[in-house]
Amino acid sequence: MCPAQVKFPESYTAYAFIKPGGKLERITVPWRFPEDGEIVVKVLACGVCGTDDICSSQVMPTPLPRVPGHEVVGDVVAIAPRERLWKVGERVGAGWHGGHCSTCSRCRAGDFMTCEHQDITGVLRDGGYAEYVTLRSEAVVAVPRDMDPAEAAPMLCAGITTFNALRNMDVSPPDYVAVQGIGGLGHLALQFSSAMGFRTIALSFDGSKEALALQLGADAFVDGSRVNQAQELQKLGGVKVVVSTAPNAAATECLLDALTVDGTLLVLAVEPEPMRISPLSLLVKRLSIRGWPCGSPKDAEECLTFAQAKKIKCLVERFPLHKAQEAFERRETARFRAVIVP
């Protein structure tokens, strides 16, 4: 779009990590028109994810300063002259996948999520803790205008991670799926699993979450503070998939015994501690342990379509941009996803 047609700000506000281990700090970012292959989006909502801590912890080497945030929803306000996919005024979003090289062996196979040179929104390029964000065109997701931006934003990471992982497992209705943890990821996994037709079991060590789990679509609830969860699930004949959504290595490794033959332990939580796995357990029942890296923009669009059709909702706590640090601190304790609404 011709810059002369629209009046843009000279600068805008963002919150960034300036030094390793530091807190978010308010910064002023000079306005920059998009280059070829980029668009600029006015941020309407940005979800706060546990992996946003990568910038501060430097678990993954990240250039600083860096504006985090990879669950972004907003409206396109500027495009490069040769942009062919997106138009000014469209409602769009962005997730973890920030772009791909199109030339490595994984891209040539069409598997952009495992690109050897993948860009990452909010990690290798500035993200959505800001009034505006510049995105790579190929990584952008179309977002329905009749979705609440604050509820749609977490779907572009937490939502797509659970949706895409489940639909790619060797499981079909009426198999049992157990979801460990009923937090930011887990409350979405319960809804997606139920909507996909699986018999869904909620696993938690907090008995107060039973009513909510059943409301979200679980067929049953197993309280690990009162019974051995693996033993209870084996009374059903075992489950085909256990979805680990809470970072608790000790709790997760015990659930291997809950699986039926050819079952899968699907690990989606970012758990810093290693798990101890018995090779014999894997051999006897041909068990698998898998992870799943969210999904491509097309996957994200399909996730949003499915969520709308099945009335799946992300439960959120909203924070204004000037409370970005507070929102970040709530990333593990918010019920259920903290979202920054500039």
Together in a domain, 33 and 151: yes
- As a whole number of angstroms, the distance between CA 121 and CA 140 comes to 11
Residue that terminates a domain, selected from 254, 270, 290: 290
**117 in a domain, yes or no?**
yes
Together in a domain, 152 and 174: no
What is the reported pLDDT for 28? 98
What is the reported pLDDT for 6? 66
Together in a domain, 177 and 110: no
Rounded to 10°, the helix 158-167/297-309 angle is 90
Together in a domain, 188 and 269: yes
From the list 160, 216, 222, the residue with the least C-alpha distance to 191 is: 216
Identify the CATH number of the domain in which residue 319 sits: 3.90.180.10
- In which residue are the tokens 């040539």 written? 108
Question: Into how many domains does the chain fold?
Answer: 2
Residue that terminates a domain, selected from 272, 290, 308: 290
- Per-residue pLDDT tens digits for 44-94: 999 999 999 999 999 888 999 999 999 999 999 999 999 999 999 999 999
- As a whole number of angstroms, the distance between CA 266 and CA 175 comes to 15
Q: Within 13 A of 70's CA, how many CA atoms are on the CB side?
A: 31
**308 in a domain, yes or no?**
yes
Residue that terminates a domain, selected from 290, 307, 326: 290
- As a whole number of angstroms, the distance between CA 97 and CA 210 comes to 34
What is the reported pLDDT for 272? 75
**162 in a domain, yes or no?**
no
Together in a domain, 36 and 139: yes
**301 in a domain, yes or no?**
yes
**176 in a domain, yes or no?**
yes
**163 in a domain, yes or no?**
no
Domain that holds residue 336: 3-157+295-340
From the list 294, 8, 9, the residue with the least C-alpha distance to 158 is: 294
**164 in a domain, yes or no?**
no
What is the reported pLDDT for 274? 85
Note whether 69 and 123 are within 8 A (CB): no
Together in a domain, 322 and 252: no
Together in a domain, 100 and 230: no
With 0-12 CB in 10 A as exposed, 13-18 as middle and 19+ as buried, what is 310? Answer: middle
Together in a domain, 231 and 272: yes
Identify the CATH number of the domain in which residue 243 sits: 3.40.50.720
**128 in a domain, yes or no?**
yes
Note whether 304 and 153 are within 8 A (CB): no
Together in a domain, 133 and 278: no
Together in a domain, 53 and 77: yes
pTM of the predicted structure, to 2 decimals: 0.93
pLDDT along the chain (342 residues), means of 10: 67 97 97 97 97 91 95 98 96 96 95 93 97 97 97 96 96 97 94 98 95 97 96 96 90 92 93 84 93 92 98 96 96 85 91
Measured CA to CA in angstroms, residue 169 lies from 85, 193, 310 at distances of 32, 12, 20
- Per-residue pLDDT tens digits for 101-133: 999 999 999 999 999 999 999 999 999 999 999
What is the reported pLDDT for 5? 55
Together in a domain, 303 and 286: no
Together in a domain, 145 and 30: yes
